[in-house]
Amino acid sequence: MTEKAIKQYLEYLKLSGIQDIFYSQPIIKQENPEPAAQQKPAETIFSNSDIDASEQLKQLEENYKNCQNCALWKGRNKFCYGNGNPRAELMLIGEGPGADENASGQVFVGRAGQLLTKMLAAINLPRDEVYITNIVKCRPPGNRNPLPEERRSCLPYLLEQIEIIQPKLLLLLGKVAAETLLGIEGTMATFRSHTHLFQGIKTYVSYHPSALLRNQGWKKYAWIDLQNLQKDYDSISN
């Protein structure tokens, strides 16, 4: 592993909340490390197509926010459609909103969302550069996995989002997202072992941030996924 890769991995662990790291060999510690140079946020320039996509997404959210196609509407406080860049090259798809999302109407704003933001930052990817949504748009009771009929009810909304945004890469977070969108069953190890194609879009599968909060040991595998994703993202962005 190169020095750059080691530093990036250590930063990822730090951002993920891991403070104590044990090494089989000593590493050189810099006594007075120079502060990292702050990068200026990239200027966002919206084209007409960006505006059109944004307006389409807003209109669809307005159309669907009172949806009653499945029983999840009964516990809904806010409809969580999705947030981010309407012309994102990378689209992230999770499973379903939690309590914080149900209260705010925004996606990935709780502890899992905070971890996701840090994970993206670890590969130099601002959160507002991507688009993030879920398989289902209303919170399942007790944060359980969405039922098959609930996923089927929401899937057309997700497919419309993908069609409008036209991402070049997809990252599916968790087994539920992978099985729903790819239409196959499998283990996380199987899904992660290779990339997939969804409607011609290169698709990665990795652990949901909630799972990483429950099992710190999986973070090293998520980091591998992020590194592979970063290579593809950098190649299409340059």
Report the C-alpha gap between 111 and 99 in whole angstroms. 11
Report if residue 39 sits inside a domain: no
71-117 tens-digit pLDDT: 999 999 999 999 999 999 999 999 999 999 999 999 999 999 999 99
What backbone torsions phi and psi does residue 41 show, to the nearest 5 degrees? Answer: -60, 140
173-223 tens-digit pLDDT: 999 999 999 999 999 999 999 999 999 999 999 999 999 999 999 999 999
C-alpha to C-alpha distances, 220 to 10, 12, 158, 205, 215, nearest whole angstrom: 11, 10, 29, 14, 11
Residue 22: what pLDDT? 32
Region 3-19: mean pLDDT is 54
Region 5-22: mean pLDDT is 51
User: Does 11 score more than 80 pLDDT?
Assistant: no
Domain containing 120 equals: 81-238
User: Does 35 score more than 60 pLDDT?
Assistant: no
141-156 tens-digit pLDDT: 999 999 999 999 999 9
Torsion of CA 102, 111, 140, 75, to 10 degrees: -30
What is the pLDDT confidence band of residue 122, given thresholds at 50, 70 and 90?
Answer: very high
Higher pLDDT, 161 or 7: 161
3-class secondary structure per residue, 20-79: CCCCCCCCCCCCCCCCCCCCCCCCCCCCHHHHHHHHHHHHHHHHHCCCCCCHHHHHCCCC
Report the C-alpha gap between 218 and 173 in whole angstroms. 13
Report if residue 98 sits inside a domain: yes
Report if residue 34 sits inside a domain: no
**Secondary element (H or E) of residue 71:** none
Residue 51: what pLDDT? 74
Report if residue 21 sits inside a domain: no
Residue 207: what pLDDT? 99
User: Does 36 score more than 90 pLDDT?
Assistant: no
Neighbour-count burial of 196, counting CB atoms closer than 10 A to its CB (0-12 exposed, 13-18 middle, 19+ buried) = middle
Neighbour-count burial of 227, counting CB atoms closer than 10 A to its CB (0-12 exposed, 13-18 middle, 19+ buried) = middle
Residue 27: what pLDDT? 31
Residue 115: which CATH number? 3.40.470.10
Report if residue 138 sits inside a domain: yes
111 contacts 212 by C-beta, under 8 angstroms: no
Neighbour-count burial of 144, counting CB atoms closer than 10 A to its CB (0-12 exposed, 13-18 middle, 19+ buried) = exposed
Task: Please tell me the total count of domains within the chain.
Answer: 1
**Secondary element (H or E) of residue 87:** none
Report if residue 46 sits inside a domain: no
12 contacts 226 by C-beta, under 8 angstroms: yes
Report if residue 209 sits inside a domain: yes
User: Does 138 score more than 90 pLDDT?
Assistant: yes
Q: Is 143 left (phi over 0), alpha (psi -120 to 50) or beta?
A: left
Q: How far apart are the first and last CA of the chain?
A: 24
Residue 238: what pLDDT? 73
**Secondary element (H or E) of residue 170:** strand 169-173
